[in-house]
Amino acid sequence: MLLPNILLTGTPGVGKTTLGKEVASRSGLKYINVGDLAREGQLYDGYDEEYDCPILDEDRVVDELENQLSEGGVIVDYHGCDFFPERWFHIVFVLRTVNSILYKRLENRGYSEKKLKDNVQCEIFQVLHEEALASYKEEIVHQLPSNKPEDLEDNISQILKWIEQWVKDHSS
């Protein structure tokens, strides 16, 4: 059976991981968190002193994911999307969170003041939504609100419905 690949993207703290793991467990699709993948495989290319974090080696990440994504049935979770091959994804969901809620979530993660400010600004300017629109066909990019628990349930059911319809449309 053919299964779709889904990209979940958005500013850190918008709820990609919670949503991705839940959709994966309810749909049977495989969930991949690119941050975890990079950590496990040490897929880094240096260190960013300013942000106090390793720099992702995007080419190695793409190489690492290529086989799994060519088979289909994968949910990829990452806060960037412009380096993935366009052909990988059948749909892209950009999660959006209200700034005040996002600020609290990132504060709870212990983000530095600079990291807090930059990420909230990233959300204000819709950086990830713009990046998704620049990287993929507009008709496959969808925004989802991610502010409260009800949003999570709505988003899960919306994505599950989409998967079901996609499978129907692509079965011979």
Q: What would the two tokens of residue 98 be?
A: 């209200």
Q: Annotated binding residue at 28?
A: no
Question: Is 9 marked as a binding-site residue?
Answer: no
Q: Whole-angstrom distance between the N-terminal and C-terminal Cα of the chain?
A: 9
Q: Is residue 115 marked as binding?
A: no
DSSP 19: H
- Confirm whether residue 39 is marked as ligand binding: no
Give 33's DSSP letter: E
Is 168 annotated as ligand-binding? no
Helix (H, G, I), strand (E, B) or coil at 44: strand
| Cβ atoms within 10 Å, residue 41 | 12
Annotated ligand binding at 18? The verdict is yes
Give Dmax over CA atoms of the chain in angstroms: 53
Is 15 annotated in a binding site? The answer is: yes
Q: Which residues are annotated as a binding site?
A: 13, 15-18, 109, 148
Residue numbering of the annotated binding site for ATP: 13, 15-18, 109, 148
